[in-house]
């Protein structure tokens, strides 16, 4: 955390007056699905993966608050934001079991990290999640005060897909990497298996603004597909997979 704070101070001082908007960590909630993605951390087979992941996230939250503190000391006009993968989570059916399961998935997906960054505290549902998964965070003196006092100014997000969830998968899993859920009968899927859902962007923006009521920035958006390069005579020359 101290290294990140020092690194942040160097950047803030170097680009003071030139850069106004800053993001502390990219897609920080991606750590919940792939610790290497956001935390740069490989979990050993003999470790409690969730314990290690959420302990690492706690350190990132504190580091983000330290960076925010540094920015406000150096130049109070700087705006500091968080950045999350955002995806609305739909219940597969009106069965209350599916609705509850989708609710729990969406809270961890979209609100766990967001609440710490924006509201300055762990959400109430985190306590139950930690208890159910044998997670005991090591919290140092002053950590919670930093989270409380140095929250972000805006919320930024990447949006590529929505998710549909069912308590019992029944072999109906959707494709795609990182996170998938089950197939939504109302949506087509991209070549990567992700649900193609433009309306989902509007839905998640409304949900996020209702919850946080701070400026929202869309900083990534796109569609994973296979691009075909076509020669002038109409022949297909090659096919390449792209993500964004």
CATH of the domain at 13: 3.20.20.80
Give the H or E element holding residue 154. strand 154-159
73 is catalytic: no
- Domain range for 22: 2-242
As a whole number of angstroms, the distance between CA 213 and CA 97 comes to: 30
Give rounded-to-5 percent helix, strand, coil for the chain: 40, 20, 40
Q: Find the range with the poorest average confidence among 5-19, 31-45, 48-62, 138-152.
A: 31-45
In whole numbers, what is the pLDDT of the chain averaged over residues? 91
Number of domains forming the structure of the chain: 1
- Give the integer Cα–Cα distance in Å for 114 and 108: 9
pLDDT of 119 strictly over 90: yes
Q: Tokens in use for 11? A: 């950047």
Degrees to nearest 5, angle at CA 140 with 65 and 147: 25
| pLDDT at residue 171 tops 80 | no
Whether 27 sits among the annotated catalytic residues: the reply is yes
pLDDT tens profile 52-103: 999 999 999 999 999 999 999 999 999 999 999 999 999 999 999 999 999 9
Percent of the chain with pLDDT over 90: 73
Q: Determine which one of 27, 106, 165, 195 is catalytic.
A: 27
List the catalytic residue out of 13, 47, 105, 220.
220
Q: How far from each other are the two terminal CA atoms of the chain, in whole angstroms?
A: 31
Answer yes or no: are the C-beta atoms of 118 and 155 closer than 8 Å: yes
pLDDT for 240 beyond 50: no
CA distance 147 to 230: 52
Write down the pTM of the prediction: 0.88
């Amino acid at each position: 955390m101290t290294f990140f704070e020092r690194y942040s101070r160097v950047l803030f001082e170097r680009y003071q007056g030139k850069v106004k908007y800053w993001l502390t960590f990219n897609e920080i909630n991606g750590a919940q699905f792939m610790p290497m993605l956001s935390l740069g951390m490989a979990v050993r087979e003999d470790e409690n993966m969730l314990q290690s992941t959420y302990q690492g996230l706690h350190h990132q939250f504190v580091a983000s608050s330290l960076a925010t503190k540094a920015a406000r000391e150096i130049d109070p006009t700087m705006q500091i934001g968080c950045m999350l993968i955002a995806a609305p989570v739909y219940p597969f059916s009106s069965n209350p079991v599916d609705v509850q399961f989708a609710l729990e998935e969406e809270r961890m997906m979209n609100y766990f990290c967001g609440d710490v960054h924006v509201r300055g505290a762990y959400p109430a549902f985190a306590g139950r999640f930690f208890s159910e998964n044998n997670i005991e965070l090591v919290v140092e003196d002053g950590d919670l005060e930093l989270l409380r006092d140095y929250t972000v100014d805006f919320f930024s997000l990447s949006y590529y897909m929505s998710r549909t969830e069912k308590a019992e998968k029944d072999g109906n899993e959707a494709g795609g990497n990182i996170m998938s859920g089950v197939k939504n009968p109302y949506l087509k899927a991209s070549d990567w298996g992700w649900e193609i859902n433009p309306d989902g962007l509007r839905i998640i923006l409304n949900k996020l603004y209702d919850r946080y009521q701070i400026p929202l920035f869309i900083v990534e958006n796109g569609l994973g597909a296979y691009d075909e390069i076509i020669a002038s005579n109409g022949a297909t020359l090659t096919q390449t997979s792209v993500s964004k």
